[in-house]
Amino acid sequence: MNRRVLLSAAALVAALSPIAPASASDVCGRPCLQGLVDRYLVALSAHDPSLLPLARNVRFTENGIELRLGDGLWGTASGAGHYKLYVVDPQDGQVGFFGTVMENGAPVLMALRLKVTYGLIDEIETIVARGSGAGNFPPAGRTMEAHGHPRPQFLRSVPPAERPPRAELVRIADSYFTGLGGNTGRNTAPFAPTCNRWENGIQTTNNASFRGSSSFNVVALGCDAQQKSGFFSFVTEIRNRRLPVVDRERGLVLGFCFFDHAGKLAEIHLTNGQTVPSPVRSPLTLEVAELFQIDRGKLDQIEAVLGTAPYGMRSAVWDSP
């Protein structure tokens, strides 16, 4: 009798005990990961990190600087905006987000990455674009709040049989940086004819109405023509490239990196034979979160959240030497 009781008790304990998951995705799948972003926005607006399921060793950065969780935008946010774009990677337990957040009554643009392990958030990476970010762009938060919703290409579901392997999506996304850094026009990424890029809410391809200071209006060109022009030779290096969030269901890859501009190049010799002044004549680094939507092996839509950083800066936590 005692033996039967012990065996029954053991079976009950086994039935009630959770099975140890093989990976983070077994605990927190797509709905869970997206829900954690929504909970993050609520907690951020309430200025209360304790509303989140946090790992004891959670680390948090804003614009490349490690801060105490509760500092930075956590102290000034007043609510979520209307623009919300999710990048969900259940395979690796990560989720990315581009969206607007109200800060003291004005919208700012935030890129967010959460790493989740067994249901607990252990990494929080944010880039907050409060001003223009670069050039003469208008405030990023205002333009994205006006857009209101993502382009439909970012929201489509790729049929399971047509989803490329994770490594292939990463390779295609990384080719964008390879073609842009030290741009010569001879090594370009694979672009779809419909490709467009937004940077801090501004369409920076196929946009003849937006002109910079150069006599060569590169913004009027498409994605492929821009890289083939050789105009971006003033981008000295794109370094510390990370592509941690891969959403195979939607064909999305979210990357983080730094664009360095040494400022030494006085003139740009374009592939069409034209020579134009370089738009960057002093050392400049941009910290960038870049989101790629890939359709049938081609880069179709690109979106970036970026801001200026001290020249040569690297992330305090996430970048290896």
Which pLDDT score, from 0 to 100, does residue 211 have? 67
Residue with tokens 């989101």: 291
Choose one of 147, 166, 188: the last residue of a domain: 147
One domain, residues 139 and 174: no
**Structural domain includes residue 222:** yes
Amino acid (one-letter) located at 47: H
Distance CA 95, CA 36 (A): 9
One domain, residues 234 and 278: yes
Locate 114 and state its tokens: 């959460």
Which pLDDT score, from 0 to 100, does residue 24 have? 44
Domain that holds residue 198: 158-309
One domain, residues 265 and 135: no
Helix runs in 75-222, H state only: 140-147, 166-180
What is the strand order of the sheet 65-66 is part of?
65-66, 54-62, 120-129, 106-117, 94-103, 77-89
CA atoms within 13 A on the CB side of 214: 22
One domain, residues 39 and 129: yes
Choose one of 124, 147, 170: the last residue of a domain: 147
- Could you please report the per-residue DSSP string of 80-111? EEEEEEEEEETTTTEEEEEEEEEETTEEEEEE
Choose one of 99, 127, 147: the last residue of a domain: 147
One domain, residues 236 and 207: yes
Amino acid (one-letter) located at 170: V
User: Could you list the mean pLDDT of each consecutive 10-residue stretch along the chain, which spans 321 residues?
Assistant: 37 33 63 98 98 97 97 97 98 97 95 97 97 64 94 97 97 96 90 97 91 78 96 96 98 98 96 94 97 98 96 88 59
One domain, residues 143 and 172: no
Question: What are the angstrom distances between the C-alpha of 222 and each of 3, 64, 229?
Answer: 76, 30, 10
Which pLDDT score, from 0 to 100, does residue 132 have? 55
One domain, residues 162 and 69: no
Distance CA 185, CA 241 (A): 21
One domain, residues 168 and 284: yes
Summarize the chain as % helix, strand, coil (round to 5): 25, 35, 35
**Structural domain includes residue 205:** yes
Distance CA 88, CA 119 (A): 15
**Structural domain includes residue 321:** no
Q: Which of 250, 235, 234, 228 is nearest to 303 (CA)?
A: 250
**Structural domain includes residue 6:** no
One domain, residues 168 and 278: yes
Distance CA 55, CA 71 (A): 18
Locate 269 and state its tokens: 């010799």
CATH code of 114's domain: 3.10.450.50
CB-CB contact of 98 with 80 (8 Å): no
What is the strand order of the sheet 202-203 is part of?
202-203, 191-199, 298-309, 284-295, 252-261, 237-247
Q: Which of 117, 121, 78 is nearest to 100 (CA)?
A: 78
Amino acid (one-letter) located at 29: G
Instruction: Give the CA angle between residues 219, 84, 126 to the nearest 5°.
Output: 80
For residue 59, give the H/E element and its range. strand 54-62
Count of structural domains, the chain: 2
**Structural domain includes residue 8:** no
One domain, residues 107 and 173: no
Length of the chain in terms of residues written = 321
One domain, residues 142 and 207: no
**Structural domain includes residue 102:** yes
One domain, residues 123 and 173: no
**Structural domain includes residue 111:** yes
Question: What are the angstrom distances between the C-alpha of 40 and each of 66, 67, 243, 318?
Answer: 18, 16, 22, 20
**Structural domain includes residue 176:** yes
